Amino acid sequence: MVDLVGQYEKIKPEVDAALMEVISTAAFINGPQVKAFEQELAAYLKVKHVIGCANGTDGLQVAMMALGLKPGDEVITASFTFVATVEVLALLGLVPVFADVLPGTFNLDPADVARKVTPRTKAIVPVHLFGQSADMDAMLAIAREYNLFVVEDACQSIGADHTGANGKRKSGTLGDIGATSFFPSKNLGCYGDGGALFTNDDELAMKIRRVCNHGSRERYFHETIGVNSRLDSLQAAVLRIKLRHLDGYARARNAAAAEYDNAFGPLEGIDIPGRSVFSNHVFHQYTLRVGGGRRNALKKHLEAQGIPSMVYYPVPCHLQEAYKSDRFPAGSLPITESLAHEVLSLPMSTELDREQLQHITQAVKEFNNK
């Protein structure tokens, strides 16, 4: 699905030198690379604070802890997401309340979010799925009306621009806190696990750093219960280099998406990904909707031709074994449930060439003509 080796080959001298520098100085934990990367990413995102952490899941968990959310507090989020979004809520004793998504963009439906607000609601977690920002103006308006926090799950959307009431802003920097992941296959991926939190609020930034550092600001003095969650220096060194290429990577992904759109736009029974009017797309995934119960057949057809494809996500969170108990009331989420049977993500990377794209588009067209 992604070509991380091909991508590495193009930046190998820079990356190798940066890694060797960390190793030769042995500044593995909280080394100067971490601080430098946090500052460079903050400048790129035009956000006041970036705080590195160990992975995107931790980022979301730390956000909830820094906001002081308490067991029983309700948090409205998507069921059509990677499980991490929901898992951290459940771990903290919070109650995930699922809202449905829009069929075109796969992002939270503001009308359904508003319907799910109760007196116990404390936060909304919009997931910017597949590389496109959710409707943040609508989310922030609901949050203002009911006095809720907004934590953005920006694990798939780093670099995307949201254009709305506040002008053009980077995805993940509009709510109280944003969290992202540097898992290798993410748009800004490191060479292992990594993550970060974003905020414009000085007080929240202090609390986030404290939670990440065992609830401590001064060594061996613990003011709150925290966790150990750090971005390590080797990963930060890689990320500093890849950050310089992030916009170029997004252009490469968009070029591949444009080829796909041209090929699949006219096809009957297959829908290309919908574009949001308030966000550009950085195509973490290029995801088709295949109607008529033919999704799995298309996946098999591609497989037979050596083309990988993936179903993100085959089972929505509210129907997962772990989350279908009375503790997690879901109600009905018709769009989410139908998407689980229709979506298929095609190969998407910074390294797809014309020949590969042609092979893939031909295979899909051939299937659709059968």
Ligand X SMILES: *Cc1c(COP(=O)(O)O)cnc(C)c1O
SS (H, E, C) the chain: CCCHHHHHHHHHHHHHHHHHHHHHHCCCCCCHHHHHHHHHHHHHHCCCEEEEECCHHHHHHHHHHHCCCCCCCEEEEECCCCCHHHHHHHHCCCEEEEECECCCCCCECHHHHHHCCCCCEEEEECECHHHECCCHHHHHHHHHHHCCEEEEECCCCCCCEEEECCEEEECCCCCCEEEEECCCCCCCCCCCCCEEEEECCHHHHHHHHHHHECCEEECCEECCCCCECCCCHHHHHHHHHHHHHHHHHHHHHHHHHHHHHHHHCCCCCEECCCCCCCECECCCCEEEEECCCCHHHHHHHHHHCCCCCECCCCCCHHHCHHHCCCCCCCCCCHHHHHHHHHEEEECCCCCCCHHHHHHHHHHHHHHHHC
Q: Which residue is nearest to ligand X (CB)?
A: 56
CB of 354 to ligand X, least distance (A): 28
CA 158/CA 135 separation, integer angstroms? 15
Angle value at C-alpha 12, between 7 and 17, nearest 5 degrees: 145
* Identity of the residue, 246 or 357, whose beta carbon is nearer to ligand X in the bound complex: 246
Using the rule CB under 6 A, which residue among 7, 33, 57, 276 binds ligand X? 57
Asked if residue 160 binds ligand X (CB under 6 A), the reply is no
Residue type, 347: P
* Identity of the residue, 199 or 285, whose beta carbon is nearer to ligand X in the bound complex: 285
* Identity of the residue, 52 or 195, whose beta carbon is nearer to ligand X in the bound complex: 195
* Identity of the residue, 54 or 69, whose beta carbon is nearer to ligand X in the bound complex: 54
* Identity of the residue, 156 or 233, whose beta carbon is nearer to ligand X in the bound complex: 156
Asked if residue 313 binds ligand X (CB under 6 A), the reply is no
How many residues bind ligand X, per CB under 6 A? 15
CB of 219 to ligand X, least distance (A): 27
Using the rule CB under 6 A, which residue among 133, 156, 235, 276 binds ligand X? 156
CB of 164 to ligand X, least distance (A): 21
CB of 58 to ligand X, least distance (A): 7
Can you read off the two tokens belonging to residue 47? Answer: 């956000």
Which of 52, 78, 108 has the alpha carbon at shortest distance from 317?
A: 78
CB of 294 to ligand X, least distance (A): 26
CA distances from residue 33 to 25, 48, 174, 186 in whole angstroms, order as listed: 11, 18, 26, 20
* Identity of the residue, 154 or 360, whose beta carbon is nearer to ligand X in the bound complex: 154
Using the rule CB under 6 A, which residue among 33, 41, 49, 56 binds ligand X? 56
- In the region spanning residues 179 to 218, those forming contacts with ligand X, defined by CB under 6 A, are 181, 183, 193, 195
CB of 15 to ligand X, least distance (A): 20
Name the one residue in this structure whose structure tokens are 């280099």. 241
- In the region spanning residues 76 to 115, those forming contacts with ligand X, defined by CB under 6 A, are 81-82, 84-85
Asked if residue 117 binds ligand X (CB under 6 A), the reply is no
Using the rule CB under 6 A, which residue among 55, 79, 345, 350 binds ligand X? 55
Asked if residue 178 binds ligand X (CB under 6 A), the reply is no
CB of 362 to ligand X, least distance (A): 30
Using the rule CB under 6 A, which residue among 74, 109, 135, 153 binds ligand X? 153
CB of 182 to ligand X, least distance (A): 7
* Identity of the residue, 179 or 263, whose beta carbon is nearer to ligand X in the bound complex: 179
* Identity of the residue, 55 or 309, whose beta carbon is nearer to ligand X in the bound complex: 55
* Identity of the residue, 180 or 233, whose beta carbon is nearer to ligand X in the bound complex: 180
> Given the rule CB under 6 A, which residues bind ligand X?
55-57, 81-82, 84-85, 127, 153, 155-156, 181, 183, 193, 195
